[in-house]
Amino acid sequence: MAEKIVRCVRCHYVFDAGDGPCPKCGTPYKPPAAPQELPDVPYAERYAGTPFAPPPDTTPVALPRRRNFPILLISGVTLVGVAMLIAIVAVFGGASSGPTSGPIFVKPRTEPPSPPPTLPASVALTIQQLNDPNLRADVTVQSVADVNDPSLGKHERHAVSFIGQIAGGNEDGIVIEEGITREYRVVGGVVFIKATPSARWSTAASIAGYLVIDPAFGLRKPQMLQLVGEETQDGQLVNHFQTTSSWAPDVTRIAMINTYEFAFKPDVVVLNLWTSQDGSPLKAVFSATNTATNGTKLLDIQTTYTFTNVGGPQKIEVPGPSPSGSLGASPSR
């Protein structure tokens, strides 16, 4: 009997298939299955749809040119008819309420430049009156400044009030500052002061600049004000203005409080101003604050101005002489 040397499929030991199972691991020997006979078909059909199939030939084949003038003419007429039909549907069907599905052609258009905004005439009137050296009015001022210093656990309050008149660049009024009451009068640049109503007038070299009201608020240009709107107060139609970022106020002068030595400077300032329709000032509220990141108000200044009898017959004169020859009681204004 001829030898038939095979290899164990499990341990790969080589042995004679006629000896039975593998002498090393005992795995029975199984002869391989006979190969399946494939039908005698062409190669292309046998491997169609497999990676072994050759790629299709995509080389273009030149066809003979034929003159199809009648066909082209008929096709052109057909296309023209279809185009006319689409146009009719677009014109008559466009009146329907449903949206169109056709393309929308937008022609670009350059917008004309917008004209620069113009400020209302009332702004110019107000600026003119506030800077008029001959402005006449009765004026009342109430001002309070709170200063908090958390690092020192310190709080200060400063309060000033004024009631008086301004007329033609002159000023007359009673000031209560830090609990001290004084009456002063400024006429032609000369300062007259008396400490109490019964005291005598005396001249002074000067007074603090922040006690001078006219011109008020440092509003010099219309760009410093914006119109908030028209409001009705006490049955009167008034204009409400507010300052813009173009305004850089003298905080000390508007508050009528010496803020130069305060530990904190304001970082937000705003003035709300109400005027009559002809631009005459009626009321103003000034706010200057400095707020810490935790919300604590380090500085809070609130000042209110009230104007009455604007343009009235106010007249401020030099105090008349007293019987002793010195400056005495104030004459009528």
pLDDT tens digits along 113-123:
655 455 567 78
Tens digits of residue pLDDT in 1-38: 567 788 887 887 887 877 778 888 888 877 776 666 65
For residue 298, pLDDT over 60 is answered with yes
Alpha-carbon span 265 to 172, nearest angstrom: 30
User: In the structure, what pLDDT confidence band is assigned to residue 276 with cuts at 50, 70 and 90?
Assistant: very high
Radius of gyration of the chain (CA): 51
Residue 40 lies in a domain: yes
Q: What are the pLDDT digits (tens) for 54-63?
A: 666 666 655 5
The least confident of 75-89, 140-154, 188-202 is: 75-89
Looking at the structure of the chain, the number of domains it has is: 2
Three-class SS state of 230? strand
Within the chain, strands assigned E span 5-7, 14-16, 136-149, 154-167, 170-177, 180-187, 190-194, 202-204, 225-233, 236-243, 268-275, 281-291, 297-308
Percent of the chain at pLDDT > 70 equals: 69
Residue 151 has pLDDT above 70, yes or no: yes
Contact 130, 217 (CB under 8 A): yes
152 and 271 co-located in one domain: yes
**Residue 22 in domain:** yes
Ranges 42-46, 158-162, 197-201, 298-302: which has the least confidence: 42-46
- Residue at 94 is within a domain: no
Residue 5 forms part of a structural domain: yes
pLDDT band at 325 (very low <50, low <70, confident <90, very high): very low
Q: Are residues 45 and 142 in the same domain?
A: no
With cut-offs at 50, 70 and 90, classify the pLDDT of residue 302.
very high
Q: In what order do the strands lie in the sheet with 170-177?
A: 202-204, 190-194, 180-187, 170-177, 154-167, 136-149, 297-308, 281-291, 268-275, 236-243, 225-233
Structural domain boundaries enclosing 9: 1-50
Query: Residues 163, 166, 170, CA angle at the centre, nearest 5°?
Result: 125
Q: Is 91 helix (H, G, I), strand (E, B) or coil?
A: helix
Q: Are 254 and 146 part of one and the same domain? A: yes
Residue 108's pLDDT band, with cuts at 50, 70 and 90, is low
Q: Is residue 332 part of a domain?
A: no
Q: Rounded to whole angstroms, how far apart are CA atoms 217 and 234?
A: 24
Q: Which residue has the higher pLDDT, 313 or 332?
A: 313
Residue 248 counted as domain residue = yes
Residue 322 is predicted with a pLDDT of: 46
The DSSP code for 309 is S
Residues 150, 244: one domain? yes
